[in-house]
Amino acid sequence: MSSQFALNDVEVALSPQERFDEYLQSRGKRITQQRRVLVEHVFSRHEHFDADELMDALSKSTAKQAGGAQVSRATVYRGLEELVEAGLLRKMSLDGRAVYEHDYGYPQHDHLYCQQCQKLIEFQSQELTQLREEVAKEHNFRVTGHRLIVTGVCQSCATNRHRRLSPVDLI
Helix residue spans in 112-154 (DSSP H): 126-138
Is 169 labelled a binding residue?
Answer: no
Is 46 labelled a binding residue?
Answer: no
Is 162 labelled a binding residue?
Answer: no
User: How far apart are the two ends of the chain, measured CA to CA in Å?
Assistant: 37
Is 117 labelled a binding residue?
Answer: yes
Return d(Cα 90, Cα 104) in angstroms, integer: 9
Strands (E), 42-138: 89-94, 97-102, 110-114, 120-123
Is 146 labelled a binding residue?
Answer: yes
Query: What is the 3 state secondary structure string of 34-50?
Result: HHHHHHHHHCCCCCCEC
Q: Can you say which residues are annotated as belonging to the binding site?
A: 110, 114, 117, 146, 154, 157
Instruction: Give the annotated binding-site residues for Fe cation.
Output: 110, 146
| Binding-site entries for Zn(2+) | 114, 117, 154, 157
